[in-house]
Amino acid sequence: MKKIIVMIMSLTLFSGVLFAKNDQEKPKTGNEVIEISMMDIWVEVEALYKPLNDAIARFEAANPNVKIIRETVPSQAYLVQAPALGAANELPDLVASNGSMTRQFASTGAILSLQDAINKDANWKKRVYSSAWVEHTYEKEAYAQPLAEGNYGYIVYNSAIFEEVGVKEFPKTLDEFMVVCEKIKKAGYIPIALGDAQLWPADSINFSSFVNNFVGNAWTESILNKDGKAKFTDKEFVAALAAFQELATKGYMNENMISITHSESLGLYMSGKAAIRGWGDWEEPVLVETAPEIAAVSKVAAWPGPAKNAKATGSYEASSAWGFSIGSQISKEALPYAIDFLANYVVSDEFAKYMIEEKYQFVPWTMPKFDESKLPQITLDRIAFKAQPDSTACMNYDAVLDAAVKDVYQRGLQSLLIGAVTPEQLAKDIQAEFEMSL
């Protein structure tokens, strides 16, 4: 009898496994719920976590037959997982992508062009700033809806430490900057906090704007247009590499800059151990909430440029590095809903208002009226800094360079900072990889 019961149970279990319904299968017709999968990088502590959830809630309330299933993956894992899914052409229906990823996915057909949908929707087209699409454009078609008009690559410094070492004004040239760094170092502080374990911070938060003071925007545009006029071996670019290396080799950056993360370097600044740090606007709420006493003495500045032959001044990055793309495996039924979500629920007043009032960040579409009194002093300083006539908005190399060039460039920056490669050699290596991508 026992044997018969065991046999029946085994058969039931086996048939259950064999004939179980695949929950991943999307409903095709009728009143069944349409599911849209979504994967992004903004976990609970990130500024974009809540406004995206709110947008999903508003969208689902208006479309009860559609459900967006969101999965958030921490950034380091995401930067591995998303490209792997893209290479396998298995991206979710809505996928967060930075500029490099967008172009990579678009080139292999892993994501769909949004251009037709944008052209058909006058309100969408009119509302989003045309400059915002640049980083997410492949062969003249937009492939992702950018989410934030990011400002980064500017400097936030601790004015109390500056005063302590007798410096009242932020230095205007690189030579003056080096003198200040020396004073700060002698006083026992880390002059510049850097954490490059993820490879992008030295570039994205520091060098992209640092180098722009040497080369200017026209040079970068020439590189991106691949017109052959600008080269990474140009003396201005090499001079920038040399100056950046000098900051590290003279001991003005923390010694463990390669092994700690960008967040850990924020800890160095917020604990008052470091005086200067390359900054991103998304970090302002963290500073204000976590270290209000440091926030109170923090001021905004730009990386100083060379005293002579500077091609730009006050460079900072204005970039919509991250956006949402639509994976090419999306079903026909879900596609119009995914487009509607991006065009009307992400690009919305509610989203914009939350971002500026709660997270002090702008969005790349027309802003509604917002309560300026909610912004902390450091954000107001940043807005004022951007408005200065000698401030220059520039590109973020991390978002615009080809992935292969970026790999050589970002790993090369690490080697440069630890003195393992000369500026000239690194410039040659980047140029060689760049020429292979032409």
Partner 1 sequence: MSKKSLQLSTGKIYAFVLPGFILFIFSLMLPLLISLFISFTNWKGQPNMSFVGLKNYAILMKDVKFWLSFVNNLKFMGILLVTQIGLAFIFAIFIQSKSIYYREAHRRIIFLPAVLAPIVVGMIWQIVYNNDYGMIASVMRFIGFENFKVLWLDSPKMVIFSISIALTWQYVGQFTIIIMAGMQNINSSILEAAVIDGAGIIRRSVSIVLPLLKNTISVCVLMVISGVMKMFDLVFSISGGGPGRASQITALYAFDQAFKVNKLDYASAVAVVMVILSLLLIAIFRLFMSRLGGADE
The site for partner 1 (CB under 8 A) is made up of 80, 83-84, 86-89, 104, 107-110, 197-199, 255-260, 403-404, 407, 411-412, 414-415, 417-418, 420-421
Instruction: Count how many Cα atoms sit within 13 Å of the Cα of residue 168 in the half-sphere of its side chain.
Output: 0
Nearest to 124 by CA among 362, 323, 347: 347
For every residue of 296-319, DSSP letters joined together read HTEEEE---B-SSS-S-SSEEEEE
> Which sign, positive or negative, has the C-alpha torsion 242, 268, 100, 109?
positive
Nearest to partner 1 of 6, 80 (CB atom): 80
Nearest to partner 1 of 109, 368 (CB atom): 109
Nearest to partner 1 of 6, 187 (CB atom): 187
Nearest to partner 1 of 384, 420 (CB atom): 420
Instruction: Give least dist CB 398 to partner 1, A.
Output: 12
Instruction: Give least dist CB 438 to partner 1, A.
Output: 15
Instruction: Give least dist CB 183 to partner 1, A.
Output: 22
Instruction: Give least dist CB 403 to partner 1, A.
Output: 5
Nearest to partner 1 of 322, 365 (CB atom): 322
Nearest to partner 1 of 34, 260 (CB atom): 260
Contact at 8 Å (CB) between 307 and 177? no
Nearest to partner 1 of 57, 403 (CB atom): 403
Contact at 8 Å (CB) between 39 and 73? yes
* Residues comprising the chain, all counted: 438
Instruction: Give least dist CB 19 to partner 1, A.
Output: 24
Instruction: Give least dist CB 249 to partner 1, A.
Output: 13
Nearest to 363 by CA among 151, 152, 153, 147: 147
For 259, which DSSP code?
A: T
Instruction: Give least dist CB 296 to partner 1, A.
Output: 24
- 328: its two tokens: 């090419």
For residue 341, give Cα distances in angstroms to 60, 67, 82, 115, 347: 9, 11, 21, 15, 8
- 260: its two tokens: 């700690």
Relative to beta strand 322-327, strand 190-193 is unpaired
Q: What residue type is 222 in one-letter code? A: S
